[in-house]
Amino acid sequence: MDPASPATATTATARDLQPLGPVEQLRAGRLPRRLLQLFVGLTLFGVSMAMMLRGALGLNPWDVFHQGLAHHVPWSFGTVVIVASFVVLLLWIPLRQMPGLGTLANAVWIGVATDATLAVLAAPGDLAGRAALMLGGILLNGVASALYIGSQLGPGPRDGLMTGLHRRTGVSIRVVRTAIEIAVLAVGWLLGGTLGVGTVLYALAIGPLVQFFLPRCTVRLTPR
């Protein structure tokens, strides 16, 4: 990972993350390193989701929706994540968004990694163990997000929906993201998804965690 001091984190991130199209992402250089980082990040993201699921103390808004939906279909949690990702990608079409390699990998790999982790990770029998899984899952999610975003191979389906709506409507990123997450959280809760202290902690911590780790994980590219 490329080091950056906390004082320059925001500036470094704004400078080093480039607005690349799908083809430009592949031509931007350092591709083997970026591909490795992308799939490590996506794998760890799936692991972090499984940790929070096994902790059973609350999930992030999208996973509340995924879990709620999983109660009503004969699919694994990871399969629900994959199907939901491709449904979200369909919403990119009217927004004129183009998915990159990382976008498509995100749509599939995270669900696979989540199911694989759930198959080997047992739920703790005590509250301390569940709390440790929840807290570790939130921290790992922040690291994983920074890794796959920092690979600069395209946003995830849900991130692209947010940025696409922002670009097409002119509404701020903060408002768009909040509206989307409140909507999926409400639907997920109505479907039986788990809300709890983990949901609140995730909402409070994920932004600062990604901001801290992203400058350290962003692969510097040479503009073309």
Query: Is residue 80 situated within a structural domain?
Result: yes
Q: What is the mean pLDDT of residues 25-49?
A: 94
Query: Is residue 53 situated within a structural domain?
Result: yes
Share of the chain above pLDDT 70, in %: 92
Q: What is the mean pLDDT of residues 176-186?
A: 91
Count of domains observed in the chain: 1
Q: Say yes or no to pLDDT of 9 above 50.
A: no
Query: Is residue 7 situated within a structural domain?
Result: no
Q: How confident is the model at residue 5 (pLDDT cuts 50, 70, 90)?
A: very low
Res 1: pLDDT: 42
What range does the domain containing 38 cover? 27-217
Query: Is residue 12 situated within a structural domain?
Result: no
Q: How confident is the model at residue 167 (pLDDT cuts 50, 70, 90)?
A: confident
Res 20: pLDDT: 79
What is the per-residue pLDDT across 79-123, written as a single tens digit (0 to 9) for each?
999 999 999 999 999 988 889 999 999 999 999 999 999 999 999
Res 25: pLDDT: 83
Residue 53: name the closest of 197, 194, 207, 183 by CA.
194
Q: What is the mean pLDDT of residues 70-82?
A: 97
How far CA 224 is from CA of 26, 27, 28, 42, in Å, comes to: 12, 9, 7, 27
Place of tokens 């997920």: 188
Query: Is residue 198 situated within a structural domain?
Result: yes
Res 8: pLDDT: 35
Query: Is residue 113 situated within a structural domain?
Result: yes
Q: What is the mean pLDDT of residues 38-67?
A: 97
Q: What is the mean pLDDT of residues 156-170?
A: 88
Q: Say yes or no to pLDDT of 198 above 70.
A: yes
Query: Is residue 114 situated within a structural domain?
Result: yes
Query: Is residue 128 situated within a structural domain?
Result: yes
Place of tokens 């670009």: 167
* Reported pTM: 0.88
Q: What is the mean pLDDT of residues 134-149?
A: 96
Beta strands in 82-167 (DSSP E): none
Task: Give the ranges where 154-223 is alpha helix by DSSP (H).
Answer: 157-169, 173-190, 197-217
